[in-house]
Amino acid sequence: MKIISKRLKSLSIITIVSLSTLSLLADERSDEITKLYTATFERIPDKTGLEFWIDSNLSIDEIASSFFDQNETKEKYPEDAPTSDFVDSIYQNLFDRSSDDEGLNYWSSAIEQKRVERSKFILAVINGAQGSDEEILNEKEDISKEYLNRLPYDKNDAESVMEIYHEEGHKRALDLIVNLDEHEAEHESERERLESRLNSVTLTPEEKDQVIKEHTKHGIDSAEKLLNNFEKNTQNGDDNGHGESDNNSSSIANHGGSSNHSSSSSHSSSSSHGGSSSHGGSSSHGGSSSHSGSGR
């Protein structure tokens, strides 16, 4: 019986250690993919997408490459856009700064000459992060994990949290997540009321998006104030348009309604309201602080 008991105890210990190891591996994989979302899309990952990639049998290299098959990536980084813009965008997404000239030229040239894939470049920059760059990346990862642990995914709310991080810092972003969690029902009720108003006014999609995010970041009063300002500007624009139309009508009447003035364009008014070894980890460019994530 003692032998059996010892064996069972050993099996229990092995099981606990195995489960603990699996949990650590899952956390590490989640962290890698979260950083990949940050680098490629500059956003908190949606829970469904994150879980899909975690459960897939793909390596992190394969996942990074697969990101470039996604419509979101193709829209964010058009093929006809300069490669240097893409490289600089990744640095901005990860570290809130531009790449230095040497790193920008190196990576742009490597990508254009097909020496490195865009997805490999992203992983090299992530893995090479040092100093303040690493600190910023870790803070963004921390914010993503806290958001996903506390809240159901909402695109506007997730984007608002990251905007607050950029504007006011790490602590303020975490505080906002806690506030959204603790006042979730109230937040949703206010959002519904706000969206009802937005559906009844004529604003651009960008203006409506700003109002929704203002609510998330600074509350309903601030959002309604912004909405009122947008409405006022729209009304002023309409008034100016009518005044111009009246002046045109008078001009037409004064000229006897001739075809030279009645519909002329000169009297109308329109408004147009996802590592190269050479820079990611090799002795020539990579592991050095001069060319990976820290400075380039």
Instruction: Give whole-number Cα distances, 214 to 39, 74, 174, in Å.
Output: 25, 28, 17
| Amino acid letter, residue 2 | K
Provide the pLDDT for residue 168.
96
Lowest-pLDDT range of 24-33, 244-253, 261-270: 261-270
| Amino acid letter, residue 264 | S
More confident residue, 8 or 42: 42
Provide the pLDDT for residue 235.
82
More confident residue, 281 or 195: 195
Match 């097909």 to its residue by tokens.
114
Instruction: Give whole-number Cα distances, 161 to 20, 168, 210, 215, 263, in Å.
Output: 31, 10, 13, 12, 50
Instruction: Give whole-number Cα distances, 16 to 29, 34, 272, in Å.
Output: 20, 27, 64
Closest CA to 157 of 191, 106, 123: 191
Provide the pLDDT for residue 22.
42
Spatial neighbors of 109 by CB under 8 A, at least 6 apart, are: 115
> How many other C-beta atoms lie within 10 A of the C-beta of residue 272?
3
Average pLDDT over every residue of 202-209: 94
DSSP notation for 124-191: HHHHT--HHHHHHHHHHHHHHHHHHHHS---HHHHHHHHHHHHHH-HHHHHHHHHHHHHTHHHHHHHH
pLDDT greater than 90 at residue 7? no
pLDDT greater than 90 at residue 236? no
pLDDT greater than 50 at residue 293? no
More confident residue, 270 or 160: 160
| Amino acid letter, residue 243 | G
Instruction: Give whole-number Cα distances, 132 to 45, 97, 135, 290, in Å.
Output: 23, 11, 5, 14
pLDDT 10s digits, 40-99 = 999 999 999 999 999 999 999 999 999 999 999 999 999 899 999 999 999 999 999 999
C-alpha R_g of the chain: 27
Handedness of CA 204, 209, 50, 115 (dihedral sign): positive
Scored b (16 or more CB within 10 A) or e, 16-43 reads eeeeeeeeeeeeebbebbbbbbbbbbbb
Contact 180, 187 (CB under 8 A): yes
Provide the pLDDT for residue 295.
42
pLDDT 10s digits, 128-149 = 999 999 999 999 999 999 999 9
Helices (H) and strands (E) in the chain, counts: 14, 0
Confidence of residue 9 (pLDDT cuts 50, 70, 90): low
Closest CA to 287 of 127, 49, 109, 132: 127
Mean pLDDT score across all residues of the chain? 81
pLDDT greater than 70 at residue 269? no
Provide the pLDDT for residue 208.
95
Provide the pLDDT for residue 223.
97
Scored b (16 or more CB within 10 A) or e, 102-139 reads ebbebbbebbeeeebbbbbbbbbbbbbbeeebbebbeb
DSSP state of 55: H
